[in-house]
């Protein structure tokens, strides 16, 4: 099997002993492009761009607020794609979008829009394995890597099937709940990452509830890397792009063993 851009880079970096760091930035939020550049300069390996949606059921208060702000400012998937094209940060880009955004655009058309925006991958949190056929076919055909999510509630037999369908990396959901910062890393985060590592060689990244550098380090003891969402978006809203850069540098240092 030939890997897409993101998975090829992730596997090569893992080979070199580097832990993978993927910050999440809400597309269209004030300063989002500068934040992505700052994150790339500070050691991010890829960026997850959130496409704001009216009904983000997997998101907690911080990302909900960021999405709402972007929507209120008139941001659309297409305006984000336009601006993403200008980024040229040298690392792969993924989108995180709810399925209705894809469904409404049409599977083939959406995949094509991603390709033309220079985006490598898509993460669709409300599209589980059983419903993913149509989108995955369109994405595969266009060369878009579809990252699947695995959750702590999955029985053992389900995990290899999810891993087999995942491209780019495998998203190991860190806890039972929505995105947002927590005081400590849930025990389920490392437990699930361990279960996944045992059944797949696709890079396993922990996301949802990895809230600071120390928690990222803890997760990376087991996983191949982390996704940082609410902790990044909060810094962008409170402190601007520089705060994001500083934070990503801090996490990078913490996960450099």
- Residues carrying an active site annotation: 48, 59
As beta bridge partners, residue 170 has 148, 204
CB of 71 to other proteins, least distance (A): 7
CB of 154 to other proteins, least distance (A): 6
CB of 126 to other proteins, least distance (A): 5
DSSP summary character for residue 226: E
Q: Are 192 and 173 in contact (CB under 8 A)?
A: yes
Helix axes 107-116 and 77-85, enclosed angle (nearest 10) = 30
* Closer Cβ to other proteins, 199 or 249, answer by number: 199
* Closer Cβ to other proteins, 38 or 159, answer by number: 159
CB of 57 to other proteins, least distance (A): 5
* Closer Cβ to other proteins, 57 or 198, answer by number: 57
**Cα–Cα distance, 94 to 122 (Å, whole number):** 5
CB of 63 to other proteins, least distance (A): 12
- Chain center to CA of 241: 18
C-alpha separations of 51 from 43, 79, 107, 159, 203 in Å: 23, 10, 16, 27, 24
Q: What is the largest CA-CA distance in the chain?
A: 44
Q: Are 80 and 51 in contact (CB under 8 A)?
A: yes
Kindly report the backbone phi and psi dihedral angles of residue 228, in degrees, each rounded to the nearest multiple of 5, phi listed first.
Answer: -120, 115
| Helices marked H in the chain | 5-15, 32-41, 61-72, 77-85, 99-105, 107-116, 133-142, 158-165, 187-197, 213-220, 230-239, 241-254
* Closer Cβ to other proteins, 32 or 53, answer by number: 53
* Closer Cβ to other proteins, 188 or 228, answer by number: 188
Residues that bind other proteins (CB under 8 A): 53-58, 60, 64, 68, 71, 76-78, 99-101, 103-105, 125-131, 148-155, 158, 162, 173, 176-178
For residue 166, give both structure tokens.
């995942």
């Amino acid at each position: 099997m030939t890997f897409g851009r993101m998975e090829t880079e992730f596997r090569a970096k893992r080979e070199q002993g580097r832990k993978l760091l993927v910050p999440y930035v809400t597309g269209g939020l004030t300063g989002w492009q500068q934040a992505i550049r700052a994150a790339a300069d500070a050691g991010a390996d890829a960026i997850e761009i959130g496409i704001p949606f009216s009904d983000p059921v997997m998101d907690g208060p911080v990302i909900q607020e960021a999405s709402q702000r972007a929507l209120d400012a008139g941001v659309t998937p297409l305006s984000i794609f336009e601006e993403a094209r200008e980024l040229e940060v040298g690392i792969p880009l993924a989108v995180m979008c709810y399925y209705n955004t894809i469904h409404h655009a049409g599977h083939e058309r959406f995949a094509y829009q991603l390709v033309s925006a220079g985006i490598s991958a898509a993460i669709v949190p409300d599209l589980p394995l059983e419903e993913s056929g149509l989108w995955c076919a369109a994405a595969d055909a266009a060369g878009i890597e579809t990252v699947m999510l695995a959750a702590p509630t999955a029985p053992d037999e389900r995990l290899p099937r999810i891993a087999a369908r995942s491209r780019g990396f495998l998203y190991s959901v860190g806890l039972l709940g929505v995105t947002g910062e927590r005081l400590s890393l849930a025990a389920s985060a490392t437990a699930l990452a361990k279960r996944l590592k045992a059944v797949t060689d696709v890079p396993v990244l922990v996301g949802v509830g990895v809230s600071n550098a120390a928690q990222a380090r803890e997760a990376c003891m087991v996983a191949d890397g982390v996704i940082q969402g609410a902790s990044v978006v909060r810094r962008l809203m409170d402190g601007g792009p520089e705060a994001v850069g500083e934070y990503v540098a801090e996490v990078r240092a913490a996960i450099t063993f």
